[in-house]
Amino acid sequence: MAPETVTEYIGGLEGWQADVVARVREIILEAAPDAQESIKWAQPVFEINGPFSYIKSFKNSVNFGFWRGVEIDDPHNLLQGTGAKMRHFKLAGLADIKADIFADYVRQAVRLNLEKGDPTRG
């Protein structure tokens, strides 16, 4: 049965993946306390004026991504992806989490949504 909440999503994961998703979720909610979280597109999605961030678990990694990823100032060149809009971090364990950088990027993503609107519309 598909998870209906982010807590259920995390509960369905094992080991390091559950730890990584839980920690990234904490960072997102600390940096954007007004964010609404839900399961959309079979993954945790975080929204303020539209979706700004998501977490997706794969077999060997966890992606932590941003709808407006190409617009985020990424001086460390940590974001990956080749699409027109989205970018993500590819995480293989807790050691890959950079809390201060992640929180900064979350705040940037929220600001972009507040300035430009819902990235899924238009």
CATH of the domain at 98: 3.90.1150.200
The whole-number average pLDDT for the span 44-62 is 97
In a domain, 58, yes or no: yes
Answer whether residue 122 shows pLDDT above 70. Answer: no
C-alpha R_g of the chain: 13
User: For the chain, what is the domain count?
Assistant: 1
Ordered alpha helix ranges (H), 12-122: 15-31, 99-116
Average pLDDT, the chain: 96
Q: Do the Cβ atoms of 18 and 71 come closer than 8 Å?
A: no
Return the DSSP state at 32: -
pLDDT of residue 30: 98
Burial grade of 2 (CB within 10 A; 0-12, 13-18, 19 or more) = exposed
In a domain, 121, yes or no: no
Q: What is the pTM of this model?
A: 0.96
Answer whether residue 2 shows pLDDT above 90. Answer: no
